[in-house]
Amino acid sequence: MKSYLCLENGSTFTGEVTWDADGPVQGEIVFFTGMTGYQEVLTDPSYKDQIVVFTYPLIGQYGVNEDDFESEKPQVKGVIMLRSPELYSHYHATSSLKDYLLKWKIPFMTGVDTREVVKEIRNAGSQNACISHTKTLPDKKKHTGQIEQVALSHIRKLGHGDKHIAVIDFGVKKSIISSLVKMDCQVTVIPYDQLDVLDQLNVDGLVLSNGPGDPKDMMKYLPALKEKMLKLPTLGICLGHQLIALAFGGDTERLLFGHRGANHPVIDTESGEVFITSQNHNYVVNRDSLDGTGLKPRFMNVNDGSLEGLQHANKPILSVQFHPEARPGPEDASWIFEHFYQSIKQPGREKMYA
């Protein structure tokens, strides 16, 4: 059925929608540039309430399997594609992409000129959008409360290792936890609003997870987080990176259209090495806001010069804007987890990262 994708600024695009929703669907529209990884994108909690435009022209060709979910269900509000095939082929696949989206009542549009949509987002920025059978402009209100919807409400324990890591859950991806467990670590996932539990646990390290939305929505939790970070080796990933900056007195700002894809080049300013990363974020840390925080830039985006990671001057605290677990994406940055693990094994908490 013919339908419309209407952006907040009045731009309208037509396509065909497969619909199983009650009325128009609204969300923030963003685009993802990877050729594969659509299953991980759809279930990544950081995409909560967003309408995702896939730039690659053919999405769904290898179906959906039971192994590559990043959470229990899709988190997106809608999906925009040029084409999605009825037939799929992969030995792990258990259903088509279309059937998966229908199962969860996620509307998806095909036949859309995704190139034109992406051009509009790049020029005008990420904004609200609406999928509807009629030309319906979306509300201009800011989406809030996504973290509360995706974070765990209970403590969860996984793995059986010598080192005990606490993951503060703001919408953590399954693959981040899996990466820690594979290093022979015991992992306790703690909801962001239950930080007092840390006083009862004997943990060796702290991970601040990824998550959706504006990091400043978590400001009231930052004093308690900073207290814990000063005592424990800490790794922040994506939203967690931004929260570390805010906790130490830095600032964050919104990008025009964010970074979402599996091909973002990042340079390590210490080694000079450039590696390709997977990213998904709207907000970045303002480099000029770091004076007096004890934090210094460690990683930079080669394309636009934005800040991609921090380290503390004299505490074992490291943060990355990109996703070292690389689901989806290249594994160039997977060494970040080993780097963090080695900091836990160091006898002195005051030591810097090498």
**Residues with catalytic roles:** 238, 323, 325
Per DSSP, the three-state class of 276 is strand
The C-alpha atoms of residue 261 and residue 54 are separated, in whole angstroms, by 10
Locate the DSSP E strands across 211-292. 234-237, 252-268, 274-285
How far apart (Å, rounded) are the C-alpha atoms in residues 34 and 54? 8
- What are the b/e assignments for 29-45, b being 16+ CB within 10 Å? bbbbbbeebbbbbbbbb
Cβ count near 56 (within 10 Å):
17
| Positions of E strands within 133-251 | 156-158, 163-169, 185-191, 205-208, 234-237
In the chain, the amino acid numbered 20 is: D
Q: Distance of CA 262 to CAs 3, 37, 131, Å?
A: 30, 9, 26
CA–CA distance, 354 with 346 (Å, rounded to integer): 11
